[in-house]
Amino acid sequence: MKPILYLSVAALLLAGSALAQTPSPTNLGRHPYPQIGKDGRVTFQVNAPDATSLTVNLGKDYPMTRDAKGVWTATTDPQVEGFHYYSLKAGGLSFNDPSVHSYFGMGRWASAVEVPGAPDADFYTPHQGVPQGAVRAVRYHSQVCGQWRQMYVYTPAGYEQNPSRRYPVLYLQHGGGEDETGWIYQGFADVILDNLVAEGKAEPMIIVMVSGVAQKADGSGDGFEQMVTEEVIPLVDKRFRTIADRDHRAVAGLSWGAKQAYDLGLGYRNLFSWVGGFSGIIVIGEFRVRPAGYEDPEKFAAAYNGVFKDPEWFNEHYHLVFIANGEAEGSHLKGMSEILKERGIDNVFYQSPRTAHEWLTWRRCLKEFAQRLFK
């Protein structure tokens, strides 16, 4: 096993000032590469003397060039601020860059860069003196899936100092190819809530994160809804000091997880009354990538076990439907929000400036959503 090698801070500062580049915060230890230039271009460097060809893929392929010593380099087009997955590619295989942290995404442990420059980065940055909640990794056995699994549970600052206080709960889902670790390591959900609560902008709440990949043990299909409603929620209500009713239970998710959040939040009206979908659609009729089926009153009234049938009932019983995405994702979710309003369904729409289908969008979505919860 090799030790992690660190450059001295002095060497880094020197390199930084000479190149006007900063190492990605996702780099392991004090690895200098990947580096991000002031224009948002990312420079990658890999030591691979024996490689015959090497490519980095960040949104698209960038062939790397080799120097005399066998060090391969590539610089990308300017990237928008935020978190971007990437891969190294050789011989048709995609794999991890050994110089950065890995994150569970793209259906495997994947590499990522964080391009700095978000004007609002403070909200997802840890600050000294802000009281911290705790993130717990909880192993649990799912009968539905026939396997031991892990959930992450965030409890807010003060949870342990106030042993009689009970808290509302947000169930928070990752996107396709990710898992229960995404909202903490890619999303900084714990930091975002710590900061919001410290500023008095959000209610202290428990956040539960489970993997949305939940094949039934008997091979009969997707067990996600059954696992959450019959196993996860009862376990959380038993193990943690929750307020165990629909008025104090929210669900949200991103992308594929937004679909799951709507399935749970709108489909199980006895369990949830606050629903958020980040970069994902409310499905009327059959699933489409873009909102569809809203023009058919029968389909609309039948969706999610008829939850939209009586808009007056809906608006009275649901505290929040929150729809959001990134500006670079286009206007289809803004359109969906407006159609829902036309159909009489109250909802709130939010759009993250500049960003696409990625984690800076979703960090902002969580920040906006969390401030509206349980009030």
**Residues at the interface with a copy of itself (CB under 8 A):** 1-6, 8-10, 28-30, 46, 48-54, 70, 85, 88, 90-96, 98-99, 101-102, 105-109, 126, 128, 132, 134-139, 141, 146, 148, 160, 163, 175-178, 184, 190-191, 213, 215, 217-219, 255-256
Q: In terms of CB distance, is 90 or 198 closer to a copy of itself?
A: 90
The CB-of-278 to a copy of itself minimum distance in angstroms stands at 14
Torsion angles phi and psi, residue 238, rounded to 5: -85, -45
Residue 84: beta bridge partners? 113
Rounded to whole angstroms, the Cα distance separating 203 from 196 reads 8
Q: Are 105 and 85 in contact (CB under 8 A)?
A: yes
Q: In terms of CB distance, is 94 or 229 closer to a copy of itself?
A: 94
The SS3 of residue 231 is helix
Q: In terms of CB distance, is 148 or 270 closer to a copy of itself?
A: 148
Q: How many residues does the chain have?
A: 375
The CB-of-306 to a copy of itself minimum distance in angstroms stands at 29
The CB-of-16 to a copy of itself minimum distance in angstroms stands at 14
Q: Are 273 and 317 in contact (CB under 8 A)?
A: yes
The CB-of-267 to a copy of itself minimum distance in angstroms stands at 21
Q: How many CA atoms lie within 13 A of 313 on its CB side?
A: 8
Maximal CA-CA distance, the chain: 71
Q: In terms of CB distance, is 128 or 270 closer to a copy of itself?
A: 128
Q: In terms of CB distance, is 49 or 119 closer to a copy of itself?
A: 49
The CB-of-272 to a copy of itself minimum distance in angstroms stands at 24
Residues 6+ apart with CB under 8 A from 238: none
The CB-of-290 to a copy of itself minimum distance in angstroms stands at 18
Q: In terms of CB distance, is 98 or 344 closer to a copy of itself?
A: 98
Angle between helix axes 189-198 and 359-371 (nearest 10 degrees) is: 30
